[in-house]
Structure 1
């Protein structure tokens, strides 16, 4: 994943309409040293109050922070919470001209009382059954100038009534449509481009629970039911600490890996994921790259307290900081030994990875799913030239490593100068040696080495017409 991608998003500045349920998130933090007399409940001495846009409003401010031009379509009450929420949206450069104010509404608020690192209680206030949105015509008119629409339906009733019917009639005039809904099946007739359900919402669509083990394989087996049930062209299932799973038509399943945090740090992470995904798609990036960027953005906010926002600078830093340096073989051997002592299964693969393409990403993703830790060994520039010709590599070692390191599936990177990584395999002794589907195990020089120490050679899936040589040929031929 290129660390320059966030800057590209900000430069592209896709225009996005966010439609749905907004709320004000409030965090009251302090210390709790005693129980109250009236009940066995802690007394929290509040020393700080922090508020932030929540729900669809959080999606909007995250979009704006990533460089999108954002307009909010929603309703708020003419109350203190509504005034504060509108001010926060405007401060974040979100256009609120399509937000309805008043009409007897009460703005939804979610107050969390926190003692130390622990949420003691959450207090929800505001309308539970809202009047349906009345500005659908304005939404459809504005959609003609947008790159994307995000529908955030949390079941309050705001998007009830004839909203779905009116949007369905206008579907051909709507741009890229992303749906983030508690009941994604409700929007199936709208044929969204992408839906982003969490595990619980996915289980509702499928009618069966997702097993704790084998989540990716389970979702892949049920992809037809999930795509049909949501009406979507692609589904990105968010699984909190287990990352996300992308099911894009009949293309190979793609998984991301998250950096786990305690559950009390995950407020709003799904909104950030949806925002980054939409920004990337609205800017014209592929959905696989968009999902990887979305995971990186979610990783930023879950490591912060309260409801947080991921900016262009944050995402750039995350991709750069998340890029492990090229390890020398001694240090890599030490880390592999530590992983093995902790009971982790090591997967090893290697290649030139010059001009990274979807075939590379697909097979690396599949390789990581074979174990717990993925080690990628990259041919040196001199090694690439010997294997591919004097005009290769197109990208030098540092660039090739930087792009690979941004993929959430890659754990460790190293470089080797020999024509094969046989000596490195003998030293590290990974449980699995994985290669792309354009290879045959019996023809690999490394196979005897791997079998000699008791390891397994796995040949993974292959995407035809997806090779660096083919990409370079198309570029040279002007295609």
Structure 2
């Protein structure tokens, strides 16, 4: 399988935008999804009166839409992004089950391993809305899971996972992954290195990525999955504690990273935090945990559902195709951002993801345009953070610094030195990348909200125009050393000096490239 160079995050977003629809379509990695199916119903209508029997609105239904949800939505997203998908689940022999199977088949998902049982009820969630506002949700689900259906589903697992590049377990505690199904998964997809390639044991874990998306991730700890993707509530349950709200959640998760890894048994844990993005935790060394943050790009509430399924699908596909973990998480965040801006349950296609990534190109704003955006943010009560730099060859030191800067406020503005000013600062051989390319790369980072280019000796004119609440600077400076400090404080802001990471300097990266011809690995 072809591999993309080991870039940090979405640093090569333009290359990714071209690679996503092409390479994934060519490679078509086989991904098996095993889990609880849901049929999502979205019924939209108008309200003109209240019913006589009770003080309840009467919704005159004008439109009925149905879409696969839960594990079925993960399968749909994987297929839409170019994977060859096998689906293993248990549904009923009812209209909802037939609708679900029909929609899965229409997108090319292999449903030959889906068990339809007469004693099973297909879980259906009907959302009744008017004017874009959900008024009521009706859930129709099985009260008992037929043992015969579970036995049949368990028997389908070995063949479904054989030869798969990845397996996703979508365990929403609805019953499909209980008893014999769980035993079959553990037997045929045991911890990495514990299985053989015999007909009885299934494929070797050496060749299979295992992702656990579960309400109770600890339940699959003995499987030692490569990735676990709990949301905040599921991660809190894994730790046996409650999470703080708002901006405090991410630092709390980071502080408990070691416990999350141990409790989940996973090689890496990606905690999804809804509007606050995600935090990835992986073990760098026995006593050292590394993290990577992404930031969501939320818009007005659109009653979207299933963005988490899209995230898991894109993350799985990117990792199974050989992308680095940090790049895969950023790509998954981008895919989730696509669907969260739509009403209902939807999927992100390769073309839509590529278009979204390309949209970051040529995104540098003029000072006037930027000032207008900042004024809008300030009227909404958002705290503005400004930082500046060359950001020529993006590396881990840069992304760590920018993520720290983002956490100082609500909106992060990055001002890039123009090509001419970089030459004055760094010498005639710099910059390596043109200012338009540097702007596109920086804009693609989920922590960055706006990018501009400045050509003055210092960013003081921009500071006086934008009047940021915080001016962030990295390196071995003190506020007293910076010419900008007086302007920032005169405008009512504060100066914050962030971590200096000398081992990840651009100069060091360039020297290594020149000496070895290789890009440093993340």
Per the normalisation by structure 2, the TM-score is: 0.83
Distance in 2, Cα, partners of 1:19 & 1:120: 32
Equivalence for 1:193: 226
Distance change >3 Å, CA 143–CA 297, structure 1 → 2: same
Which range moves more in the overlay, 39-48 or 80-89?
39-48
Structure 1 contact 151–179 (Cα < 8 Å) conserved: yes
Distance in 2, Cα, partners of 1:244 & 1:128: 34
Deviations along 1:2-37, one digit per CA (max 9) or x if unpaired, are 154254233133321111011211222211212223
Equivalence for 1:39: 54
Distance in 2, Cα, partners of 1:478 & 1:273: 34
Which range moves more in the overlay, 98-107 or 275-284?
98-107
Distance change >3 Å, CA 334–CA 29, structure 1 → 2: closer
SS in 2 for 1:327: coil
Equivalence for 2:498: 460
Distance change >3 Å, CA 456–CA 94, structure 1 → 2: same
Distance change >3 Å, CA 183–CA 452, structure 1 → 2: closer
Whether 2:206 is the aligned partner of 1:167: answer no
Structure 1 contact 32–42 (Cα < 8 Å) conserved: yes
Equivalence for 2:441: 403
Distance in 2, Cα, partners of 1:20 & 1:109: 15
Structure 2 contact 134–303 (Cα < 8 Å) conserved: no
Matching residue within 364, 368, 377 for 2:406: 368
Equivalence for 2:139: 124
Equivalence for 2:3: none
1:53-452 map, 5 Å: 53-102=68-117, 104-130=119-145, 131=147, 132=150, 134-136=152-154, 138-169=156-187, 170-172=190-192, 173-174=204-205, 175-213=208-246, 214-249=248-283, 250-262=289-301, 265-321=303-359, 325-436=363-474, 438-441=475-478, 445-446=482-483, 448-449=485-486
Q: 1:404, CA displacement in angstroms?
A: 1.1
Structure 1 contact 349–433 (Cα < 8 Å) conserved: yes
Distance in 1, Cα, partners of 2:488 & 2:59: 61
Distance in 2, Cα, partners of 1:64 & 1:92: 7
Per the normalisation by structure 1, the TM-score is: 0.90
SS in 1 for 2:298: coil
Distance in 1, Cα, partners of 2:296 & 2:317: 20
Deviations along 1:243-284, one digit per CA (max 9) or x if unpaired, are 32333331145141331443x613111111211222222222
Distance change >3 Å, CA 38–CA 425, structure 1 → 2: closer
Q: 1:410, CA displacement in angstroms?
A: 0.9
Which range moves more in the overlay, 64-73 or 97-106?
97-106
Structure 1 contact 326–401 (Cα < 8 Å) conserved: yes
Equivalence for 2:286: none
Structure 1 contact 405–413 (Cα < 8 Å) conserved: yes
Distance change >3 Å, CA 32–CA 329, structure 1 → 2: closer
Matching residue within 25, 31, 43 for 1:16: 31
Distance change >3 Å, CA 14–CA 360, structure 1 → 2: farther
Structure 2 contact 422–431 (Cα < 8 Å) conserved: yes
Equivalence for 2:195: none
Q: 1:452, CA displacement in angstroms?
A: 5.5
Distance change >3 Å, CA 458–CA 403, structure 1 → 2: same
Distance in 1, Cα, partners of 2:517 & 2:73: 42
Q: 1:135, CA displacement in angstroms?
A: 4.4
Which range moves more in the overlay, 146-155 or 336-345?
336-345
Equivalence for 2:5: none
Distance in 2, Cα, partners of 1:389 & 1:255: 33
Equivalence for 2:196: none
Distance change >3 Å, CA 207–CA 420, structure 1 → 2: same
Q: 1:441, CA displacement in angstroms?
A: 2.7
Equivalence for 2:197: none
State the Cα RMSD in Å: 2.6
Distance in 2, Cα, partners of 1:334 & 1:4: 31
SS in 2 for 1:309: coil
Distance change >3 Å, CA 40–CA 322, structure 1 → 2: farther
Distance change >3 Å, CA 146–CA 459, structure 1 → 2: farther
Deviations along 1:166-217, one digit per CA (max 9) or x if unpaired, are 4344332232221111111211222222222222222212222222241111
Which range moves more in the overlay, 5-14 or 71-80?
5-14
SS in 2 for 1:95: coil
Structure 1 portions without partners, runs of 5+: none
Structure 1 contact 9–279 (Cα < 8 Å) conserved: no
Equivalent pairs, count: 477
Q: 1:154, CA displacement in angstroms?
A: 0.9
